[in-house]
Structure 1
Amino acid sequence: MNILNLDNLIVIAYLLVTLVVGIYKGRNIKTFKEYAIGDYKFSNSALVATITATWLSAGSAIGTHEKVYQFGIVWVVIFLFGVVGIFLFQLLAPRIYKFKGHLSVSEIIGTWYGPQARVIGGICVALHSIGMVAAQVGAIGYVCHEFFDLSPMIGILIGAGIVVIYSSFGGIKAVTYTDIIQFAFFMVAIPLIANIMLIKAGGYSGLLEKVPAEHLKIFPNYGSVSEYLFLFLFFAIPFFDSCLIQRVLMAKDKEQVVTSFKSTALVMILFYVLCGLIALSVRTINADLNPNNVLYYTINNYLPMGIKGLGIAGLLAVVMSTADSYLNTSSIAIIHDVVNPLRKSSLTSRQELLVTKFTAILIGSGAILVAISFKSILQIIIKAWIIWAPIMVVPLYATFLGIKSNSNIFKLSAIAGIATVVIWLIYDIEAKTGIDSMIPSLFANLIAFSSASLYYHKYAPKKLNKPIMPNQLPSYKEARVAKLRLQS
């Protein structure tokens, strides 16, 4: 690898600037609260940048190009339904903001469902976040191998090492300000690449003439209409990602929350449309590529010097901006929501801060091991969401919609979700049906939560009419006693 090559110099400059800014911006953090959510002084543009940078990941950037190249604009539409999910999240964001002062999503869960639920939630957040970090770390290794002919392990150590250093040292401030840099890189790179590839494809007219007709259909013959409608619906459902909830808790006020998420949605529309344009343009030029390598091939073979370096830096930015966010939330979850509540005496803010920084380093190291253990980045992401969805999504909806419940209902629904995942694994149902366990386990959690809540409300009407906090609601035994008293 020729280090003095212009493209390499651009990438090295990006990595160094990211590292320096991350350390500089996080240098004055004194309390755990500052480390977790900052000081409520982030601007609208900073929030938009960090929300967008966190939302986009290796799956978003590489996956969009892969799917559109292979199946056409239907996958642009599918990803745009993810933007619908951002708009829906924005509608619920003011309700989430009512929990201002909380430092994590698990702490919110603890307020609503009790201390045991907080610990369970903290474990879920940590495991899910570690999986997401591992997926991005694996992508960093693959990018470095593809463009610089480095071994994936060396690439992982370089890229992940930089992320771990600034994220563990500077907390959410380092993450946010490096997200701004990363946002700038990929939002400059993507339009430039799209413009170059469109010209090579012969402009819009040449693109429409050469691209297969099936690629321009909303419902192509590659799958059934019902399958695509399911994907539209699935992508539109907010899964209350822990990092996005953290961004809500960072905001100054409700108005900033709403404005930031609306602006993010608009940016995401532009991003997905441009990615689709790149993929279709490449399809007209070369129809024989491996879909998994479309973006890598495009950057390596079609971009002039300088723009190629910007494209590589932009791709690294997409991956690193997601990795640092999940690294931050996972370390917070482990110490603030699992270790501290289980201790007889809580850590001081200073102790909690120092231990969390050290934990972030350990998690980063663990994520490297996970990334090495899995060959597929997509496989890691799916496993990470299988940890999150069957336990956390339904209770979070209930929390933000103000539906009263208690710790027992939370635990019962969690058991139902986990049991479904275990059954799927034992009987290898995914291999037989082609359906992974995430959606069935999510529905199992929903059914258990809804059924238990209906039972609970039926047998404790008087108790539930009192204006008390949900985590103070009576137990099932008390509910049963209430029913007997009503019948006597």
Structure 2
Amino acid sequence: MAVHIPGLIAIIVFYLIILSIGLWAGRKARERGSNVENMMIAGRKFGLVVGSITLTATWIGGGAINGTAEGVVRYGLVWCQGPLGYALSMFIGGYFFVDKMRSQGYVTMLDPFSHKYGEKMGGLLFIPAVLGEIFWSGAILAALGSSLSVILELDSTISIIVSACIAALYTFFGGLYSVAYTDIIQLIFIFIGLWLALPFAFTHDAVGDISKNASAKWIKSLDPASSGIFIDNYLLLILGGFPWHTYFQRVLACSTVRNAQIASYISGVGILVFTTPSVLMGAIATVTDWNQTTYSEEVQLPEKDLNLVVPLVLEYLTPRVVAFIGLGAVSAAVMSSADSTILSASTMFTRNVYKIVFRPKASDTELIWVMRISILFVGTLAAVMGIVVESIYTLWFLCSDLIYVLVFPQILCVIYLRWTNTYGSIVGYILGAFFRLAGGEAALGLPALIKYPFYHDKDGQLFPFKTLSMLISLTAIISVSGVTKYLFEHGVLHSKLDVFKCVVTMEGENIETGGSIIEMSRNKTKQGIDGRINEALDISGEDMNTGKPENKEKIM
């Protein structure tokens, strides 16, 4: 198998452009001030344009592009729920959560948990949050590996490793500044590359009319017996699509709450615009006589190649130059999401685990280097995941599974139910994880420990058990928090038993958590629950009530 040299040169040039822009942005970031907040949230200087672009580019990764096309061919458009689900999620997050998070001056999605439920609970919620990021990175790197292997005949493992290294390298130096600036050029590549390829693919001699017999070929239908899982999946995507630090990192970096909200809405529309070519490529693949191409002797795509729909359409149904441009689009999509997830996971570890739990007095220099080492480590894990993954669409879908069941009920309670406490949070976390994992997961080889109603030996769980697991977690958080609050406040349980110090003090005084301030009774001076958490959560240059940065300079 010979590597296609001209195409390889084109991809190398593209990577060098992205790397140069990323390193240039990193230098500009250091000129604005070498501190950890600049690395994490770009000094809260993002204007509406940059905020909208970086949010859209983050969600339009290789998993979205390749996974959407695979979903259309494998399951039908009706079951390709990712694009619409994630788009609606951007509206939910923007309307209900952006104002609450941004106005409190938080730096990461886990900050309110560390502040309200304690450092250990913040660390515990770090697990599903970071696993979701790594799964996401694995899915998009796998998408790039498959694309390069088809079009350039380049080994997918080498492609994944090189791509992960480049994304990690410029993120290492520039943090969110580098990620945001490279997102701009990457989104341009994505738009041009994918939309340019469609006319050539539609007019290829081997391609039929997608409007003929569309319901049977690529739209397909919904089996009433599967309606529970259908609803379950949409709720998972809509409510599990925004509680990611990749999302909050960008809205928290916006210069104002209004810019953050509008950017979120624009990204929702952008997701639909940028995944439309993938939907159409999936439809094209179902009406193509692949026997008329040099790819296959079969009329339909073989089952084993369904995760290669986009690169196959580019390679065999478009001119070579167009295929290279389309490959640049897929590469751009991968880089725009890979760097975001690598940075996101590293930011959460540095701030909510290393600083809050282990080193509250760590200097900015120390934290920057911890963050950089974390970037390299997470990039390595993502590359490994991308190498061993099989179905891009399955892994892309699985990312929001963890977030939906474990993180969504927690962030809903910590933001809107201010009287919930650490006891409820822990019990909800454990129960949610148990009932979700007990339902089994074929993608991870987990058998079903609990067979929910309508279980089928061949099709597996047909009951919306993911939503049930989320509701069990949410109910546990609310009920256990309410019960423990009542028991401690009414003296049924002695104050010394409040081991997390989240309901009463050692003197038996009630405390109410109000986001970033703890108000104590008996006219005592206001003070934090835990000195270490308060110190670690301090926001330099921020007004905790308005979230307005002192520096008025902003980026677009």
**TM bucket normalised to smaller:** 0.7 to 0.9
**Residue 292 of structure 1 corresponds to which residue in structure 2?**
307
Contact 1:11 1:310 in 2 (8 A): no
Contact 1:386 1:437 in 2 (8 A): no
Call closer, same or farther: CA 1:375–1:280 in 2, change over 3 Å: closer
Q: 1:359 aligns with which of 344, 349, 374?
A: 374
| Higher mean C-alpha deviation, range 138-147 or range 84-93 | 138-147
- Could you tell me how far 1:83 is from its partner in structure 2? 1.6
User: Equivalences for 1:65-214 in 2 at 5 Å?
Assistant: 65-75=69-79, 79-200=83-204, 206-208=209-211, 210-214=212-216
Amino acid of the residue matched to residue 469 of structure 1? Answer: G
| Higher mean C-alpha deviation, range 447-456 or range 367-376 | 367-376
Q: Distance in 1 between matches of 2:472 and 2:519?
A: 24
Q: Distance in 2 between matches of 1:409 and 1:222?
A: 36
Call closer, same or farther: CA 1:437–1:18 in 2, change over 3 Å: farther
| Higher mean C-alpha deviation, range 392-401 or range 424-433 | 424-433
Secondary structure of residue in 2 paired with 1:26: helix
Call closer, same or farther: CA 1:333–1:77 in 2, change over 3 Å: closer
Call closer, same or farther: CA 1:81–1:158 in 2, change over 3 Å: closer
Contact 1:219 1:225 in 2 (8 A): no
Contact 1:76 1:273 in 2 (8 A): no
**Residue 368 of structure 1 corresponds to which residue in structure 2?**
383
- Could you tell me how far 1:93 is from its partner in structure 2? 3.8
- Could you tell me how far 1:185 is from its partner in structure 2? 0.8
1:446 and 2:474 are equivalent in the alignment: yes
**Residue 514 of structure 2 corresponds to which residue in structure 1?**
469
Q: Distance in 2 between matches of 1:219 and 1:380?
A: 23
**Residue 23 of structure 1 corresponds to which residue in structure 2?**
23
The two structures have a TM-score, normalised by structure 1, of 0.85
| Higher mean C-alpha deviation, range 464-473 or range 66-75 | 464-473
Contact 2:73 2:286 in 1 (8 A): yes
**Residue 11 of structure 2 corresponds to which residue in structure 1?**
11
Q: Distance in 1 between matches of 2:144 and 2:218?
A: 32
Q: Distance in 1 between matches of 2:220 and 2:155?
A: 40
Secondary structure of residue in 1 paired with 2:320: coil
Which residues of structure 1 form unaligned runs of 5+? 475-488
Q: 1:54 aligns with which of 54, 58, 69?
A: 58
Contact 1:193 1:311 in 2 (8 A): yes
Call closer, same or farther: CA 1:400–1:416 in 2, change over 3 Å: same
Q: Distance in 2 between matches of 1:276 and 1:128?
A: 24
Amino acid of the residue matched to residue 264 of structure 2? Answer: F
Call closer, same or farther: CA 1:196–1:212 in 2, change over 3 Å: same
| Higher mean C-alpha deviation, range 344-353 or range 371-380 | 371-380
Call closer, same or farther: CA 1:373–1:288 in 2, change over 3 Å: closer
Cα deviation code 1:64-106 (max 9, x no counterpart): 1122234443246663243222221221244344455322111
When the two structures are aligned, how many residues end up with a matched partner? 471
Contact 1:406 1:470 in 2 (8 A): no
**Residue 246 of structure 2 corresponds to which residue in structure 1?**
243
User: Equivalences for 1:403-422 in 2 at 5 Å?
Assistant: 403-421=418-436
Secondary structure of residue in 2 paired with 1:13: helix
Call closer, same or farther: CA 1:429–1:323 in 2, change over 3 Å: farther
- Could you tell me how far 1:191 is from its partner in structure 2? 1.5
Contact 2:102 2:251 in 1 (8 A): no
Call closer, same or farther: CA 1:45–1:347 in 2, change over 3 Å: same
Cα deviation code 1:119-143 (max 9, x no counterpart): 2233433333233223333333333
Call closer, same or farther: CA 1:236–1:379 in 2, change over 3 Å: closer
Contact 1:81 1:232 in 2 (8 A): yes
Contact 2:59 2:337 in 1 (8 A): yes
Call closer, same or farther: CA 1:224–1:214 in 2, change over 3 Å: farther
| Higher mean C-alpha deviation, range 409-418 or range 215-224 | 215-224
Q: 1:434 aligns with which of 460, 463, 469?
A: 460
Amino acid of the residue matched to residue 300 of structure 2? Answer: D
**Residue 539 of structure 2 corresponds to which residue in structure 1?**
none
| Higher mean C-alpha deviation, range 45-54 or range 73-82 | 73-82
- Could you tell me how far 1:362 is from its partner in structure 2? 2.1
1:278 and 2:278 are equivalent in the alignment: no
Compare the two structures and name the one with the higher helix fraction: 1
Contact 2:54 2:180 in 1 (8 A): yes
**Residue 477 of structure 1 corresponds to which residue in structure 2?**
none
Amino acid of the residue matched to residue 298 of structure 1? Answer: V
Call closer, same or farther: CA 1:54–1:221 in 2, change over 3 Å: same
Q: Distance in 2 between matches of 1:229 and 1:352?
A: 43
Call closer, same or farther: CA 1:211–1:274 in 2, change over 3 Å: farther
Amino acid of the residue matched to residue 237 of structure 2? Answer: F
- Could you tell me how far 1:174 is from its partner in structure 2? 0.8
Cα deviation code 1:45-71 (max 9, x no counterpart): 221221111112333211211222344
| Higher mean C-alpha deviation, range 460-469 or range 188-197 | 460-469
Indicate the RMSD between aligned Cα atoms, in angstroms: 3.2
The two structures have a TM-score, normalised by structure 2, of 0.76
Q: Distance in 1 between matches of 2:471 and 2:383?
A: 32
**Residue 455 of structure 1 corresponds to which residue in structure 2?**
483
Q: Distance in 1 between matches of 2:449 and 2:338?
A: 31
**Residue 268 of structure 1 corresponds to which residue in structure 2?**
271
- Could you tell me how far 1:9 is from its partner in structure 2? 3.8
Secondary structure of residue in 1 paired with 2:362: coil
**Residue 401 of structure 1 corresponds to which residue in structure 2?**
416
Q: Percent identity?
A: 20
